Structure 1
Amino acid sequence: MKTLKKLFYFSFIISLSLFVSCEGEDGMDGLNGEQGIQGEPGQDGNANVIGVTVDPFPSWTSGSYLGQEANFVEITETSLTEAVIDDALVLVYFQLFGDNVWYPMTYAFPFDSGNEEVITYTYEPDLVTIYALSTTGPLNASISKVRYFIIPTSDATARSASTREMKVQQLWDKGIDINSYEEVANYLNQ
């Protein structure tokens, strides 16, 4: 029994020693690991926006614009249905001479002589038409590329004029300059 008491006492001391020796102060946390790779940001919800590039730009045809002689090019665009036209904004940009600078339409360039050159557009069902004219007659503008965006509104009950004005205002409110192709293209993820 004496041996059993010694064994019990000895076991108790060892257990107590182990218990006490396991306690200690909380140490500093280790270094954080490297940040993992983040995924690509998602789309801004512009899934219905249509962006079209016409490259190379077709040859001009003689005609008129608002009763004045002008050159024009017609671009067939089947996405421009009557319903889309009543409910969308269409923005058009172009490049001249093969340079990588985008100009907004309507573009007007006045000369010191009082003459002016104008490049503009219209749209209707199935058609975008680009016009080029000057105060002296048709203009053979050296357009190398055209890009246009068809931006539908999210409110299908809105009417055409007010819808386009609202969409332009929404872009301006978000800090997007609609005269800047780069800002519009970046915003629309096009």
Structure 2
Amino acid sequence: MARPLASPTLSPQFCFSSTALRDFLRLSRSSVDDTLNQHLNALITPAREGFDPSSTSQLRPRQLSRQVDRAQCSQFKETVLFPAWHDRSRVLSYCTLVATSPDPDDPEAALLKAENEKSRQRIIDERLDPYSARYFPREPRTQQLASLIRQEQSVENIVRSKTWATIDERCGLSEGSWEQAFEAWRRRGGSSVCSNVE
């Protein structure tokens, strides 16, 4: 069975490095959510039913997806899927906190302040230059990070919804929404298992 990607060491530098943040989220999603059908297919034991020679004598519609044993599916969710979701939630929550905190270490803070001061001192005459009023201030890195986190959180919700629909279809586990099932896993102490693995 697949193991989720190791959770990164959280620091403000990790969050402000949009490449590192996006790479972690992308790799985590691709190792678990994007390959979900392959993981579920690996849980099915075809030899359990045996081979029926008459099955090759006539053409039948291909079975799109086979049911996975409920116990194996539950184990997959508990040991692979939910820990991966937990790690991504932890990273997104931490980076949200970083994005909403003051950033005294911003290397471009002085440059942004100087640009804003310069733009206030400009004399604008739209009769001479209709484009002279254009000024697009650069955002501080905390605002850029907040925007990135909003995008990634939206992607995360879509990915989890699709993953949960596939789990529900293949495993027949009607536990409600993914939010309810994930929260129930957390309350049962699943997130403490994740922190022990690190």
- Of Structure 1 and Structure 2, the greater strand share is in 1
Larger Cα Rg: Structure 1 or Structure 2?
1
Kindly indicate whether structure 1 or structure 2 has the higher relative contact order, using CA contacts under 8 Å at least 6 residues apart. Answer: 2
Q: Could you state the TM-score of these two structures normalised by the residue count of structure 2?
A: 0.26
Bigger helix share: 2
